[in-house]
């Protein structure tokens, strides 16, 4: 049983990079394909609280339901925003990673390095070639 969980969308480059950073630390995470298996209301509310962000901060803005539902308007309560995310899981920004050191929305993907219990096992470059971990497993600061 892994002590790392990722709410993952394999179609998302940031999510894929985050998953590979987790694996580069030697962990094999529990992968939740949240578009197929969305969290329950209770879990989603807990994730938001554990991340210490607003409900609105978890909303993914550049997807079709966001505009259709006029979610940019400031007229919706947190409870209503959670309802929309449960009805349309694509509205949940990703990837969300849970480890014993915390829960984070990992955008950019290297945010995951702040909460991984184990060090990186070697160099890591994102899919676009950006080097984020050096040969010694140390985070490269920009």
Active-site hit among 4, 6, 12, 81: 12
Cα separation of 89 and 63, whole Å?
A: 11
CA–CA distance, 109 with 58 (Å, rounded to integer):
15
In 3D space, the residue among 30, 3, 28, 8 whose CA is nearest the CA of residue 18 turns out to be 8
| Residue (of 108, 142, 138, 141) closest to 126 by Cα position | 108
Cβ(34)–Cβ(94) below 8 Å: yes
Contacts of 129 (CB under 8 A, 6+ apart): none
Task: Please classify residue 118 by burial: count the beta carbons closer than 10 Å to its beta carbon, then call 0-12 exposed, 13-18 middle and 19+ buried.
Answer: middle
- Decide if 12 is catalytic: yes
Residues belonging to the active site: 12
């Amino acid at each position: 049983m892994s002590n790392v969980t990722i709410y993952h969308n394999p179609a998302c480059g940031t999510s894929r990079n985050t998953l590979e950073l987790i694996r580069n630390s030697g962990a094999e995470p529990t992968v939740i394909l949240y578009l197929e298996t969305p969290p329950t209301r209770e879990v989603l509310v807990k994730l938001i609280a554990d991340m210490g962000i607003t409900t609105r901060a978890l909303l993914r803005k550049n997807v079709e339901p966001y505009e259709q539902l006029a979610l940019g308007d400031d007229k919706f309560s947190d409870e209503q925003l959670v309802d929309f995310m449960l009805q349309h899981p694509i509205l949940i920004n990703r990837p969300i990673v849970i480890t014993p050191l915390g829960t984070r929305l990992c955008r950019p993907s290297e945010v995951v390095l702040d909460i991984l219990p184990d060090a990186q096992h070697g160099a890591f470059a994102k899919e676009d070639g950006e080097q984020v971990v050096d040969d010694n497993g140390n985070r490269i600061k920009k």
